[in-house]
Structure 1
Amino acid sequence: MSRQEELVSLLKEKNLKLSVAESFTGGLISEKIVSVSGASEVFYEGMVCYNAQSKIDRLNVKESTISEKGVVSAETACEMATGLLKTGNCDVAIATTGYSDVNEDDKQIGLCYVAVGFEGKIAVSKNVFDGTRRRIMERASCKALDMAFKIVSGQDGRNVEEGQAEENLADLKKNALKFVIETNNASIV
């Protein structure tokens, strides 16, 4: 059974709805989910917010977050997932942002952040994947599905550090969301 099949089955079992906001993964996570028979019972929506303005307009990511932290940052990924959760239409939110190729910010190719929101917390994973543009997108999509499955099933160990990543995320705590950071292959900036 694929990870997306396991996730859809788990969401059905727990009667949970999922929404996805993708940037550099370009819809791959959504495609993997809808390829599973019966996904319509648990998949509320998937959107591709590829540029900064789309993240601001559709997900209420703050302009200040993008200008101060960057469009590819833990904070942006967190706010993307938060934007989905605040709609009230989903119980689980997945968001991705990253660089799959050469970029204008001259940042590391393969750097990405995956955020998963569930039960009042947002977990953000910083990753660096190598390979072709397509391979990086594929690996990030698989990471997102795996992370969501582990968090919803309780297999994530809950041993990640909790707390504020930055002072500008204090307003997220006011909305009963805790910022949780999980690192993979790198330290949080």
Structure 2
Amino acid sequence: MTNEIIDLATKVGRALHEKKLLLCTAESCTGGGVSQAITEIAGSSDWFDCGFVTYSNTSKAELLDVSPALIAQLGTVSEEVAAAMAEGALRNSSAHVALATTGIAGPTGAVPGKPVGTVCFAWSRGDHTHTERLVFQGDRQKVREQTVIHSLQGLLRFIE
């Protein structure tokens, strides 16, 4: 875990604590990396509710209520699926705010229009969800690390 990630997770914790918000995560390509970063911070139980690591499409449907038809239509790596993951995490937790990641960390998995490094993000609170799609460069570890960093940076912007 890099110092940058720990520093970001600390800032996220401070912001959530000040706003009295509980966070949950719905992670696919990061495999729990965002939750790991958050729980590195002492006292995170005050502002972190839970994390869902939903790597398979079946788990996305069963644990987060993501529509299999949506996945079939747009693919797992889409802003719409990321939004459905974040919204489903909120419905299935006690959290006030959620973040979600779904992407292609590589080295395999690329499909037309979605190269390795494509990641879709969502941040959700109440009836507002914001999504983004980025393409990161580097190997699997670098893509996952950049995804964790962007998730936390995006969350800070989203809750401000």
TM-score, normalised via structure 1 length: 0.78
Which of 143, 147, 151 aligns to 1:140? It is 147
Matched, 1:150 2:145: no
Identity %: 31
Where 1:2 maps in the other structure, the secondary structure is: helix
User: Closer, same or farther in 2 for the Cα pair 1:137/1:88, shift >3 Å?
Assistant: closer
Matched, 1:45 2:47: no
- Determine if contact 2:49/2:93 at 8 Å carries over to the other structure: no
- Deviation of the 1:88 alpha carbon: 5.3
Q: Which structure has more RCO (C-alpha within 8 Å, separation ≥ 6)?
A: 2
Which has the larger helix fraction? 2
Matched, 1:130 2:140: no
Which of 115, 122, 132 aligns to 2:122? It is 115
Over the aligned positions, Cα root-mean-square deviation in angstroms equals: 1.3
Distance 1:54 1:87 in 2: 13
Q: What aligned pairs does 1:1-189 form with structure 2 within 5 A after superposition?
A: 2-87=7-92, 89-101=94-106, 102-103=108-109, 105=111, 107-153=114-160
Structure 1: unaligned runs, 5 residues or longer: 154-189
Q: Aligned pairs, how many?
A: 153
Deviations 1:75-129 (A, max 9, x none): 1001001101223511110100000111164530000101000242111010000
| Runs of 4+ residues deviating >3 angstroms | 104-107
Distance 1:15 1:104 in 2: 40
- Determine if contact 2:110/2:116 at 8 Å carries over to the other structure: no
User: Closer, same or farther in 2 for the Cα pair 1:35/1:21, shift >3 Å?
Assistant: same
